[in-house]
A = this chain, B = another copy of it.
Amino acid sequence: MSATFVIAQGGGPTAVINQTLVGAVLEAKKRHPGAKVLGARHGVRGIRDGDYVDLSAVPEAQLRLIAGTPSAALGSTRDKPDAAYCEVILAGLKKAGADAFIYIGGNDTAGTQQILTNAAQGSMAFVHAPKTIDNDLVDNDHTPGFISAGEFVAGAFLSVDLDFRALPGIYVGIVMGRHAGFLTAAAAAWQLDETSGPHLVYVPERGFSVKRFVDDVKRTMDRHKRCIVAVSEGVTMEDGRSLVEHVVPADKLERDAHGNLKLSGTDLGAAFEQALATGLPGKRARVDTLGYLPRGAISMVSPVDAKEAFDAGAFAVDAADKGGGSVALQVEGGKTVIRLVPLSNVAGKTRHMPADFLKPDENQISEAGMAYFKRLLPKKFEVGKPFV
């Protein structure tokens, strides 16, 4: 029976992370009449600084409006607390009178909850509620935020493919994704027919070779007169280094507090432009960086994603009452079910896209991959087949 909840949002925002927030607030109030729910601003920073919003005092209508709004309404943070920082957070939570702390985020966020759980020695409950457009949480079939972002990417590549049927050429679209290629691979979900782009998909899970890339594009241009390419920001060379590290001089590489390399789509885009200008001179080629657009697009909030995110938030309150853990979206009999799994299963780990989601000898999505993406991202638009 928790009566004071602290809740926060961590990592990159999504289109539906506020659904999870509001799902938790409303469930806490329902289960624990008179409960206080404090929202910490900018993740654990708000706990460190005592910077809270009393979410239990916000009218439900306003909360529902916020639930439908993309991005993290409480603000977020990239801080990845170490043991010392976690002591400060724990002291802050105690000062706030917290019985439970629900932290919505990805695998780094789960890692923070793991450290806090160990440090608190049972004095309060720590729950990780899942959120990531990367879809890379272990023990999850998919993650809240991924469906909306995936539909954005699927729609973008369907649209660009139609565009390049009309005016042939080469298109490279660079998609977020540091270690996992799910979001990039989602580009194939709404392909119109067997000639549709993306014709080539490059993800972090498979080593990248500039020479093979140019060959792949040449072959596709010969076959289809256009070539649509989806590339993850985190695509890595066969030597294991990120393509960005390969392209940007070492003294210009930037890293965040987690030691993560700054993956600039612009640098990567320049590398692709250069590779195409050298390997296929004179061909019309265009590189776009989708960057931030898919992850919190107000025009592409999926109702399914929104509902699952809300339910995951509500479930997090149940999980807190049961002592903590990580909330996971799994699929049974074709239906999404929400389960409680140990934090240690999720914390700091990356679920990669399964190797068999790619064809073994081509940079294209396999039947197994297409089955997954078509299940998660059923087509939303009926398309008339062009005359060209």
Q: Could you list which residues of chain A lie within 8 angstroms of chain B, going by C-beta atoms?
A: 9, 12-13, 18, 39, 41-42, 53, 62-78, 151-152, 155-156, 158-160, 162-163, 165-167, 171, 264-267, 269-270, 273, 286-293, 295-300, 380-388
Contact = CB atoms under 8 A, between A and B. Distances in A.
A159 B293 contact: yes
Most chain B CB inside 10 Å of its own CB: which residue of A266, A288, A290, A295: A266
Q: How many chain copies? A: 2
B288 A74 contact: no
7 contacts: A74-B387, A75-B386, A158-B298, A160-B293, A171-B292, A288-B292, A299-B300
Given A13-B166, A78-B167, A298-B155, A384 B69 contact: yes
Most chain B CB inside 10 Å of its own CB: which residue of A159, A270, A382: A159
Contact of A62 (B78, B266, B293, B384): B384
A109 to B, nearest CB: 14
Given A76-B167, A266-B273, A155 B299 contact: yes
A216 to B, nearest CB: 20
A225 B297 CA distance: 22
A78 to B, nearest CB: 7
A215 B136 CA distance: 40
Given A158-B298, A159-B296, A286-B291, 8 more contacts: A62-B384, A162-B296, A162-B298, A265-B269, A266-B287, A269-B269, A269-B289, A299-B299
Contact of A291 (B70, B288, B386): B288
B293 A74 contact: no
A320 B77 CA distance: 61
Contact of A163 (B41, B62, B264, B296): B296
Contact of A165 (B71, B171, B288, B297): B71
A384 B18 CA distance: 10
B66 A159 contact: no
Given A9-B166, A288-B289, A66 B384 contact: yes
Contact of A386 (B66, B77, B384): B66
Given A266-B270, A293-B159, A67 B288 contact: no
B295 A163 contact: yes
A388 B46 CA distance: 11
B383 A298 contact: yes
Given A158-B298, A266-B270, A53 B387 contact: yes
Nearest to A76: B166
Given A13-B166, A269-B266, A273-B266, A68 B159 contact: no
A386 B69 contact: yes
Contact of A289 (B67, B289, B387): B289
B266 A13 contact: no
